[in-house]
Amino acid sequence: MEKITSTSNNKIKYIVRLREEKKFQAEEQLFFIEGLHMVKEAIKRNIIITIFLEERMLNKVENIAKFECILISDNVSNKISSTKTSQGIFATCKLEEQEINCDKNILLLDQIQDPGNMGTLIRSAASFDFQTVIASNNSVSFYNPKVLRSTQGNLFSISLVNNDLLKVISELKEKGYLIIGTVLNEESKSLKQVKFIEKQKYGIIIGNEAKGISLELHDLIDINLNIEMSNEVESLNAAIAGSIIMYNIKK
Amino acid sequence: MEKITSTSNNKIKYIVRLREEKKFQAEEQLFFIEGLHMVKEAIKRNIIITIFLEERMLNKVENIAKFECILISDNVSNKISSTKTSQGIFATCKLEEQEINCDKNILLLDQIQDPGNMGTLIRSAASFDFQTVIASNNSVSFYNPKVLRSTQGNLFSISLVNNDLLKVISELKEKGYLIIGTVLNEESKSLKQVKFIEKQKYGIIIGNEAKGISLELHDLIDINLNIEMSNEVESLNAAIAGSIIMYNIKK
């Protein structure tokens, strides 16, 4: 089994780029994961390309011999880990084209920048039976290490798609989706007063942490919801707002 | 006006300790904030001790001459900032003893470790009219820089208290509070099926991100709530679970 002990090895440089650069992930059609839980989930989904691991982790994965594995030394493990204490196991995975599930509610993320918010929104989407998350092209990468960590491994069960929201939302409306936003205006409705229709499919837009939903999308919104809250507070965290709305729509 | 240009100045060392160490904050009865929005909020609350700022920020605060100010150079500003790009203004603030507001619902945090979760829970508590947040002594500090950032300045309007939860919850129960938890057991009730009583006061316990609510607190819980979700997902993020419950309890 190959062993890498130098952090300046080309494969290691490649991995670090893959971990950090969204564009590079798209070009290579690969992403990089870390931690035993994530690697096991990726094995279940059959998307593993190469496992990188410290020797101490060899007996932690069943049938490890079935996979392309590369051993790494401590210093390399620390270099490629995005956390203070490396878990000692990593993998590159196939980034497959994912399909929009048009039978279920859909979460639409407009320029979400904070990786913790993105990861938490994906985890909540999976929890509340939203099978697809579509993020605008200028959102943080689904495969940013902090996004992956915040999902707690709940990203493999749902489709993650990057696309132009103006285009996608127009298409969803043609397919009968009602689009929900959180723009405050005269027509916005209190969340507790809205009755969600059982067989209706919804698309929920969550806007950028500072700027909210892009102006160009406002006209596409069918219902703007207002989460009732104290006047003293300006706004909720984006992941909280999105999760409260998804929970309330879930049957 | 005094100006500090060396990062090894004793006042700067003191500030960095204050920023990082919960125990030191308690001993000194001080905490450290950064950013113009936070400093302005702290001025409103009359808790500022000393403002540290770069010269470019001098005209950003009204009546700056009324405060004890120390000028700092760029390198010092970067040293004391906990973000990549320093906002150039900081302050030490009085950490006053804060009182539990027994007229309102209360959020109880049991060993919350992630500063993003803690800050977001404080922000949601303020949003949903919970006037007091009580955290177990082994939770992350309320005044950790990442907690402060995640509150988005919404920490000054509510009481933040560290105490032993076993003791505090027993006292709250004597004062008529109903205690809500999220322990999964045979008696747990679906959140959507629970009717909250209008004049009842509630205390909600949110448990540690990995371990949940401490065993020693289980017997004190009156109602365990279960947030309905997909079987495929193990759990929600702690800040999401807490915020959904607080939103549902709010009248």
Give the confidence band of B84 by pLDDT, cuts at 50, 70, 90. Answer: confident
How many CB atoms are closer than 10 A to CB A123? 25
- Mean pLDDT (whole number) for A19-38: 96
Tell me the shortest Cα–Cα distance from B248 to chain A, in angstroms. Answer: 9
Q: Average of pLDDT values for B74-93?
A: 95
SS3 annotation, A65-117: HHCEEEEECHHHHHHHCCCCCCCCEEEEEECCCCCCCCCCCEEEECCCCCHHH
Under 8 Å between Cβ of A42 and A62: no
Report whether pLDDT(A182) > 80: yes
The pLDDT, as a whole number, for residue A217 is 98
pLDDT at residue B251, rounded to an integer: 64
Beta bridge partners of A199: none
Instruction: List alpha helices for B106-251, DSSP H.
Output: 115-127, 145-151, 165-174, 238-249
Nearest residue to B123 (alpha-carbon basis) of B148, B146, B97, B154: B154
The encoded tokens of residue B47 equal 């808790």
pLDDT digits (tens, 9 = 90+) for B126-180: 999 999 999 999 999 999 999 999 999 899 989 999 999 999 999 999 999 999 9
Token pair of B113 as six digits: 């470790």
Residues of A in CB contact (< 8 Å) with B are 116, 120, 123-124, 126-129, 150, 152, 154, 157, 227-230, 232-237, 239-240, 243-244, 247, 250
- Answer whether residue B125 shows pLDDT above 90: yes
Please answer yes or no on whether B237 and A239 come within 8 Å at the CB atom. yes
Residue A232: per-residue pLDDT = 86
Instruction: For CA atoms A39, A40, A41, A42, give the dihedral sign.
Output: positive
C-beta separation of B137 from B189 below 8 A: no
Q: Does the predicted interface ipTM exceed a cut of 0.90?
A: yes
- Closest chain A residue by Cα to residue B158: A232
Band of pLDDT at residue A251, cut at 50, 70 and 90? low
Q: How many CB pairs under 8 A join A and B?
A: 83
Q: What is the pLDDT of residues B18-42, one digit of tens each?
A: 999 999 999 999 999 999 999 999 9
Element (H, E) at B32: strand B30-34
Residues of A in Cβ contact (< 8 Å) with B120: 237, 239-240
| Helix (H/G/I), strand (E/B), else coil: A159 | strand
Looking at residues A182-206, what average pLDDT do you find?
A: 94
Residue of chain B with shortest Cα separation from A209: B152
Domains annotated for chain B, with CATH where assigned, are 3-94 (3.30.1330.30), 106-249 (3.40.1280.10)
In whole angstroms, what is the distance from residue A107 CA to residue A113 CA? 16
Residues linked to residue B160 through DSSP beta bridges, in sequence order: B133
Cβ–Cβ gap B243/A244 under 8 Å = yes
DSSP symbols for B56-82: GGGGGSTTGGGSEEEEE-HHHHHHH-S
pLDDT of residue B97: 87
Min Cα–Cα distance to chain B from A23, Å = 23
- Count CB atoms within 10 A of the CB of residue A39: 25
- Shortest Cα–Cα distance, A70 to chain B (Å): 31
